[in-house]
Amino acid sequence: MLRLEPGGGMRRREFLGVLGGAAAAWPVGARAQQASMPVIGYMSGRSLESEERLLPLFRKGLEEEGYVAGKNVAIQYRFSDGDDGRLPAIAADFVRRQATVIVASDRPSAVAVKAATSTIPIVFSSGADPVGQGLVASLNRPGGNATGVAVFTSELGPKRLELLVGLMPKTELIAFVVNPNTVGGISQVREVQAAADALGQKIFIVHASTPVEVDAAFAEIVQKKAGAILYSAHLFFQVVRDQLVALAARYKIPAMYEWREFAEAGGLASYSPSRSDSFRQLGAYAGQILKGAKPAEMPVMQPTKFELVLNLKTAKTLDLTVPPTLLARADEVIE
């Protein structure tokens, strides 16, 4: 059984034992609490390990609106570990159990829960355009049961490529690694290829959607003698973050990643919106809805801060000198 503990913390063994399984029983303790306090269903396409650092920020946003996990609100967490196919069942489980609010911390989760309910309030974070995904009618006036944060990280592929070329100006060939099992991957390939053409940079596409395919992708990258790697924006790569960083280190290949957690784990560089701000906003919006606000009238928030993170320790192991212009642009330098 998964138990809520003071402050929203949970015993890690129990957490790992059931999170991610939509069929996991709604805990007895949670059912008892639901009679006296609202329940937030929190779902993610990532893994607990890849998202754990951000959960306190989500709870901080809730607390700013007067809701403290375990005291006047219960939170149930589910993670699909990078498998988008599990998300519809997780969403259906929260709907069946009548969660008060459902928080979807990524685009695939948001799409799944939006398809599952048109009545339960939804707070989402989406890396792609939420209007184009059918999540809201417009950013300013969502008009339905969903609102949240649009981080637009999928559209940052061309910018990441530009930064990577700036780091590696003499690189003849860059590998662009994409998860083919996602609709967003098609548009990302198109946009990055157009950016590469404009920069006069040769790239080739490599597919990977499982840990085994990641190993195979690196074998192809090494065989083709790519001088650097760019990753597309997808939850799967966040789940296998440590594998990606370790392989890049083993083969001494510079890589540009989506989120700062990659650079903190030893990757060379990352470029993204501030995820700390977006997760706090998820909590704040969930709290406002619990107090009576209507998602239809709550504008979808957009990022105002973008972060370039450089790991100079990794650059040194790669015998790479970071150009002073990029060092000056970096929001954080890890030494």
pLDDT at 7 over 50: no
Model confidence pLDDT, tens digit, residues 97-148: 999 999 999 999 999 999 999 999 999 998 778 998 899 999 999 999 999 9
Model confidence pLDDT, tens digit, residues 44-94: 999 998 899 899 999 999 999 999 999 999 999 999 998 889 999 999 999
Q: What is the mean pLDDT of the chain?
A: 88
pLDDT at 253 over 90: yes
Q: Where are the alpha helices (DSSP H) in 117-210?
A: 157-167, 183-199
Rounded to the nearest 5 degrees, what angle is found at the Cα of 2, between the Cα atoms of 77 and 35?
80
Higher-pLDDT residue of 59 and 33 is 59
Residue 148 CA to residue 284 CA, distance in Å, equals: 10
Residue 25 has a pLDDT of: 42
Phi-psi region of 8 (alpha: psi -120 to 50; beta: other; left: phi over 0): left
Q: Which domains does the chain have, with CATH numbers?
A: 6-152+274-305 (3.40.50.2300), 154-272+307-334 (3.40.50.2300)
